Amino acid sequence: MNTVRQATVRLVDEQGAGGKVREIFDDIKRTKNIDFVPNFWRALATHPDQLELVWRQLKALMHPEAAGRQSKLDAKTRETIALAVSATNGCAYCVNSHTAALKKLGVDGETLGEILAIAGLFNQTNALADGYQIEPDVLPPLE
Amino acid sequence: MNTVRQATVRLVDEQGAGGKVREIFDDIKRTKNIDFVPNFWRALATHPDQLELVWRQLKALMHPEAAGRQSKLDAKTRETIALAVSATNGCAYCVNSHTAALKKLGVDGETLGEILAIAGLFNQTNALADGYQIEPDVLPPLE
Amino acid sequence: MNTVRQATVRLVDEQGAGGKVREIFDDIKRTKNIDFVPNFWRALATHPDQLELVWRQLKALMHPEAAGRQSKLDAKTRETIALAVSATNGCAYCVNSHTAALKKLGVDGETLGEILAIAGLFNQTNALADGYQIEPDVLPPLE
Amino acid sequence: MNTVRQATVRLVDEQGAGGKVREIFDDIKRTKNIDFVPNFWRALATHPDQLELVWRQLKALMHPEAAGRQSKLDAKTRETIALAVSATNGCAYCVNSHTAALKKLGVDGETLGEILAIAGLFNQTNALADGYQIEPDVLPPLE
Amino acid sequence: MNTVRQATVRLVDEQGAGGKVREIFDDIKRTKNIDFVPNFWRALATHPDQLELVWRQLKALMHPEAAGRQSKLDAKTRETIALAVSATNGCAYCVNSHTAALKKLGVDGETLGEILAIAGLFNQTNALADGYQIEPDVLPPLE
Amino acid sequence: MNTVRQATVRLVDEQGAGGKVREIFDDIKRTKNIDFVPNFWRALATHPDQLELVWRQLKALMHPEAAGRQSKLDAKTRETIALAVSATNGCAYCVNSHTAALKKLGVDGETLGEILAIAGLFNQTNALADGYQIEPDVLPPLE
């Protein structure tokens, strides 16, 4: 019998990875300054093109300096967005991973609590606004 | 040019409906005690089998007396669930329709506000529980 | 190594809680008539202001008599909304907790099944209404 | 006939508001430095207790200085979370409102685009992580 | 003490099922060509009417030939929709079950990866379109 | 006064686009065989890097032949996933756009109805499985 809840695909092992996958695995570890390849990327690696597309996008948006881009947001803000989205969607893997990333960036438990408090608040107001069928305010122009 | 945001399908007209669709349209109006067929059912009617499957299920769950079933919940509670789910999903058509149904059942604006307040609150706590990665409590057995 | 999926923060222990947190913990147990503090509140307690804000709101909406308010909904209906929202969002902790609360209020398995059936049904119709791009019905005025 | 999609409740007019509602309306305008009361608050005002609970929480979390609290996050980061959550939930009113708030805080279109790009990216990775049934990484302890 | 995260209801045992439930259990095994009754149906069986309603609909839509219906979609496409929806909602049971169904239909890991990649992509673009408040294109008529 | 619900950013005009944006706009029209640039891409174009990242990914996954890739899924199945995800998320722009794409691929109203029926069904079963806290089946190994 299989054990339950194993990943859909056999995760690609770092040792077994070759070619494009190996290069991307190395880039992930270097860019993120970690010494292992997270399970997420090991799963995507079963589909090397998809691994490349998602990594390229994530690198560009979350590690802009490594991708040769400028960002208007700092690293903590970027990971904060990631955590807020993941908590909203209830994605356990993602919450776990972005919480770890924020801690690594020096974010303490109190700040994590504040991020989640704000994410929680707006999940509430979103349901209220949709539930009350509230029309957008007519706002004065900003520019 | 088409107008934007029209329904995906041409809504089936009450006048033009025949056979199974006509019977179900009549049953919808009789069961819900309304004198028109809501757009939702007119869209499903383009797919008569689907119209029948969804209506049969909705009639059984939401109009149990008409379906010859017993329900442990009263009509207001059942519509309350419908509104809470629809506000959570942000479905504009559905919020509009279930709000109207609740008003027709005599629910006033203050009670509607309370339903939405509670639905909003738990959208908040859901995001908090998922965001904090909180494990279920070990509860004493109930029976 | 950490174990996986532990909560983001170290849950505040009832014994170790002092000041505002201790008072709220006592109020939670008294108001909910339980002899332990659920993990959810122990996590929020790492952020005492947030604990207070969420508890104040939950107490006002879910335990109105204890908060000196009147409610138009009874306790079962209020917990029913909580379960319907939690099932819709797929929040495991929350489903677990509100199911236990409903059982404690005397709701049997058959009624729980009916609540979930109705919540399930409207998740279906929500996707259908949005998927078919159905415009709201023009409804006659209710008042 | 009613017009379609009007709000569920008759929005409370600033002129007609009295007592607690009037005080909160004034506090909203003062705290947010705006000269009108947004429709969201005018709808909640039909339920003055709920208006107070939601406003108290939103003021504490989003306008901490006015609430006499300290925040570890700056105002732009807080509104960024609000926009990311609202885009994830697809709440039109909320996206509209938080976009306006960010613009008022001096956030330009390029930065808004970056916020949305990151929110979009993690909605993608959330679906991938859940879809692949990926187990959390076993992470080394951080403290 | 209960173990945590047990199902809400005691799953109905195949051996203990009688009458309508037994018939539907047999139909599920025959129609799906499996030799056990999945936990999902064993839970619904605590509510025989609901078991019947959901099974009738699922049989009609997912096993049309057995239900005497014609389908315009083939079995792989139908299960593909099921997986895409389940990944989007982050329903662990459902992702697990529909992944197994797709594998049984001969879908390999690469194709599963492609399905998830596309589902992931559109969760991204959905958040972007909602986040940017993009109005529908005015499209030329198709017919 | 602004009109309500305008897009967050000023959509980039085809005429005004230059450089990388112009090239991508041309590639979008050529690859999709349409004679206008949809509003979605015109909004992303305010952020050319993001336009490039999202288009590259969408082109690779949805127009693999144009991207020099092989796909295991046909074009209708790919757009079917897009519609199912968009209906699940209730993204109006996206539902509109993918419905038009499916019609252009020759998909008739009956088939669209079947896609939505199946997407609707699994939104129902997702809520039921999560709501009942159903554990995954222990499945026999497939390989």
pLDDT digits (tens, 9 = 90+) for D90-137: 999 999 999 999 999 999 999 999 999 999 999 999 999 999 999 999
Cα(A90)–Cα(B134) distance, integer angstroms? 11
From B69, F134, B101, B137, select the one nearest C116 (Cα to Cα).
Answer: F134
C-alpha dihedral, B6 to B12 to B15 to B20, nearest 10° = -170
At residue B55, what is the residue type? W
* Contact assessment for residue F131 and residue E92, using Cβ atoms and an 8 Å cutoff: no
- Inter-chain CB proximity E2 and B139 less than 8 Å: yes
pLDDT digits (tens, 9 = 90+) for E75-126: 999 999 999 999 999 999 999 999 999 999 999 999 999 999 999 999 999 9
Mutation target for C interface from B46, B125, B128: give the one with most C CBs within 10 A. Answer: B125
Q: What is residue F59's predicted lDDT score, i.e. its pLDDT?
A: 97
Conformational region of residue E118, where left means phi above 0, alpha means psi within -120 to 50, and beta covers everything else: alpha
Nearest to C117 among E4, E47, E89 (CB): E47
pLDDT digits (tens, 9 = 90+) for A14-41: 888 889 999 999 999 999 999 999 999 9
Percent of chain D with pLDDT over 70: 92
Give the mean model confidence (pLDDT) for residues D51-77: 96
From B129, E50, F33, select the one nearest C98 (Cα to Cα).
Answer: B129
Q: What is residue E75's predicted lDDT score, i.e. its pLDDT?
A: 97
- Touching chains, B (3+ CB pairs < 8 A): A, C, D, E, F
pLDDT tier at D5, thresholds 50, 70, 90: low
Contacts of E82 in chain D (CB under 8 A): none
Percent of chain F with pLDDT over 70: 92
Contacts of B44 in chain F (CB under 8 A): 113
Residue C1: pLDDT over 50: no
Q: What is residue F6's predicted lDDT score, i.e. its pLDDT?
A: 67
Contacts of C122 in chain B (CB under 8 A): 81-82, 85-86, 94, 98
Cα(A4)–Cα(F69) distance, integer angstroms? 34
- Touching chains, F (3+ CB pairs < 8 A): A, B, C, D, E
pLDDT tier at A4, thresholds 50, 70, 90: very low
Predicted structure pTM score: 0.95
Cα(A42)–Cα(A22) distance, integer angstroms? 11
* Contact assessment for residue E21 and residue E48, using Cβ atoms and an 8 Å cutoff: yes
pLDDT digits (tens, 9 = 90+) for A121-140: 999 999 999 999 999 997 76
Q: Which domains does chain D have, with CATH numbers?
A: 10-71 (1.20.1290.10), 73-133 (1.20.1290.10)
Cα(C21)–Cα(D93) distance, integer angstroms? 35
Q: Closest Cα of chain F to A74: distance in Å? A: 17
Q: What is residue C140's predicted lDDT score, i.e. its pLDDT?
A: 62
CA A124 to chain CA centroid, Å, is 22
Q: Closest Cα of chain F to A64: distance in Å? A: 11
pLDDT tier at E16, thresholds 50, 70, 90: confident
- Inter-chain CB proximity E91 and C90 less than 8 Å: yes
pLDDT digits (tens, 9 = 90+) for B49-80: 999 999 999 999 999 999 999 999 999 999 99
pLDDT tier at C91, thresholds 50, 70, 90: very high
> D67 vs A18, which has greater pLDDT?
D67
Q: What is the DSSP letter of D90?
A: T
Taking CA–CA distances from D54, the nearest residue in chain C reads: C57
pLDDT tier at E141, thresholds 50, 70, 90: low
* Contact assessment for residue C120 and residue F132, using Cβ atoms and an 8 Å cutoff: no
- Inter-chain CB proximity D47 and B114 less than 8 Å: yes
Radius of gyration of chain F (CA): 19
pLDDT tier at A3, thresholds 50, 70, 90: very low
- Inter-chain CB proximity A130 and B99 less than 8 Å: no
pLDDT tier at D142, thresholds 50, 70, 90: low
Q: What is residue D80's predicted lDDT score, i.e. its pLDDT?
A: 98
pLDDT tier at B1, thresholds 50, 70, 90: very low
Contacts of C61 in chain D (CB under 8 A): 50, 53
pLDDT digits (tens, 9 = 90+) for A42-97: 999 999 999 999 999 999 999 999 999 999 999 999 999 999 999 999 999 999 99
* Contact assessment for residue E14 and residue E50, using Cβ atoms and an 8 Å cutoff: no
Q: Closest Cα of chain F to E46: distance in Å? A: 11
Residue B4: pLDDT over 60: no
Q: Give this complex's ipTM.
A: 0.93
Q: What is residue B142's predicted lDDT score, i.e. its pLDDT?
A: 54
Burial class (CB in 10 A: 0-12, 13-18, 19+), E15: exposed
Q: Closest Cα of chain E to F97: distance in Å? A: 7
Task: Give every CB contact of residue B80 below 8 A, 6+ residues apart in sequence.
Answer: B102, B115, C73, C77, C80, C81
> Angle at the Cα of E35 (from F129 to A3), degrees rounded to 5?
60
Give the mean model confidence (pLDDT) for residues E26-36: 96
pLDDT digits (tens, 9 = 90+) for E41-72: 999 999 999 999 999 999 999 999 999 999 99
- Inter-chain CB proximity C138 and D60 less than 8 Å: no
Least confident of A5-9, B89-93, C72-76, E45-49: A5-9
Could you tell me how many helices (H) and strands (E) chain A has, helices first?
6, 0
Nearest to A112 among C5, C8, C85 (CB): C8
Q: What is residue E9's predicted lDDT score, i.e. its pLDDT?
A: 85
From F71, F143, E93, select the one nearest A9 (Cα to Cα).
Answer: F143
Nearest to A122 among D76, D81, D119 (CB): D81
Q: What is residue A7's predicted lDDT score, i.e. its pLDDT?
A: 78
Q: What is residue C7's predicted lDDT score, i.e. its pLDDT?
A: 76
Contacts of C143 in chain D (CB under 8 A): none
Least confident of C127-141, D32-46, D79-93, F71-85: C127-141
Q: What is residue B16's predicted lDDT score, i.e. its pLDDT?
A: 81
Q: What is residue E86's predicted lDDT score, i.e. its pLDDT?
A: 98
* Contact assessment for residue F40 and residue E139, using Cβ atoms and an 8 Å cutoff: no
Q: Closest Cα of chain D to F47: distance in Å? A: 6
Taking CA–CA distances from A113, the nearest residue in chain B reads: B132
Q: What is residue F4's predicted lDDT score, i.e. its pLDDT?
A: 44
Give the mean model confidence (pLDDT) for residues C112-137: 96
Q: What is residue D44's predicted lDDT score, i.e. its pLDDT?
A: 96
pLDDT digits (tens, 9 = 90+) for C103-113: 999 999 999 99
Below-70 pLDDT ranges, chain F = 1-6, 140-143
Give the mean model confidence (pLDDT) for residues A92-105: 96
Taking CA–CA distances from B94, the nearest residue in chain F reads: F90
Nearest to D118 among A61, A96, A115 (CB): A61
B-D contacts (CB, under 8 Å): 29
Q: What is residue D9's predicted lDDT score, i.e. its pLDDT?
A: 85
> How many C-beta atoms lie closer than 10 Å to residue B22's C-beta?
15
Least confident of C8-17, E25-34, F16-25, F29-38: C8-17
pLDDT tier at C3, thresholds 50, 70, 90: very low
Contacts of A85 in chain E (CB under 8 A): 127
The first and second tokens of residue C82, run together, are 């909580």
- Touching chains, A (3+ CB pairs < 8 A): B, C, D, E, F
